[in-house]
Structure 1
Amino acid sequence: MTRILVVDDSPTETHVLKTMLEKHGYEVSIAEDGDQGMALARSERPAVILMDIVMPGVNGFQATRKLSRDPETSDIPIVIISTKDQDTDRIWAKRQGAQEYISKPVTEDELLGKIGAVLNG
C-alpha cells in the first residue's frame, strides 16, 4: 500500500485529505507541523508528502527546503497544498524543492492527478 504523509496543522484539512486518499487505497500518516513532518518523513519514508505552508514553528517552505536537501529524504516528492495561491508562492515552493502545488480548497480529481504525476513522473 502506498503511504502518503500529510503535513498540515488544520484537523479539518487533514481529515478531508485523509478521507479522499484512503478512499483510493492510500495509507495516510498525519503530521501537525513542519518538525513532526520532517521526523515522520525520515522514519516512515512515504511515497509522497503533502505539505501545507502556513503552520506554527517550521513552516512548509522551510520543511520542504530541508527535506529536499537532505540525502535521506530528497527522493520523496513534495506537493504543496496551501491557501496561498499567488504565482510568487508557486515559484518559491518549486525553488524550495516542491514538485507540485495545489491551492485550497482541494478537489479530489486535482489531488489524485498531482499525486499520480509525482509518483509516475
Structure 2
Amino acid sequence: MPIRKILVVDDSPTERLALDEVLTRHGYKVITAESGEQAVVRSQAEKPDLILMDVVMPGMNGYQATRTISRNDATRNIPIIMCTSKGQETDKIWGMRQGALAYLVKPVDHDELLARIRAMG
C-alpha cells in the first residue's frame, strides 16, 4: 500500500514544522500531533499510512504511544518509525519491541527518512 498520509508526532513545534515541510515537498499529506495521547487519538481518527514518532514527550511518551497504537486492532497495521534523540542501542531495542518498524536518531537525515518511507510504500 503506498504511503500518502503521514502522522508526525513530536512535542517540538520546530521538529513538526521541519518534518512537515520536507514531507509535503515530497508529495505527502501531513497531519501532526504534539503528544502521545494525541497520537493515539489521531491514529484512530485519521488512519494515516505511516507514523513518525518522537519518544521524549510530556505525558504519554513515544514508547507508550507506539505500544498502544501497535496493539490496538484498529491501528495495528500502521507502520511506525521512531524519530528520537534517544540513541542508545537499548533505546532502539526497546522501541522496536514496542512495535516500531524503524528507529532513526535525531537530527534525522531527511534523505534517509525519505528512503525508509519509500521502502515501506
- Specify the TM-score bucket, using the shorter chain as the normaliser: over 0.9
CA separation in 2, counterparts of 1:8 and 1:117? 23
Q: What letter corresponds to residue 23 of structure 2 in structure 1?
A: L
What is the total number of aligned residue pairs between the two structures?
Answer: 119
| Residue 51 (structure 2) pairs with residue 49 (structure 1) | yes
Contact 1:38 1:63 in 2 (8 A): yes
Give the gaps of 5 or more residues in structure 2. Answer: none
TM-score normalized by the length of structure 1: 0.95
| Residue 85 of structure 1: how far off its partner (Å) | 0.6
Q: CA RMSD in A?
A: 1.0
Give the match's secondary structure for 2:27: coil
| Residue 54 of structure 1: how far off its partner (Å) | 0.3
| Residue 108 of structure 1: how far off its partner (Å) | 1.4
Task: Determine which of 58, 75, 78 is the counterpart of 1:76.
Answer: 78
| Residue 21 of structure 1: how far off its partner (Å) | 0.1
TM-score normalized by the length of structure 2: 0.95
CA separation in 1, counterparts of 2:36 and 2:69? 10
| Residue 118 of structure 1: how far off its partner (Å) | 2.5
CA separation in 1, counterparts of 2:37 and 2:9? 10
Structure 2 partner of 1:94: 96
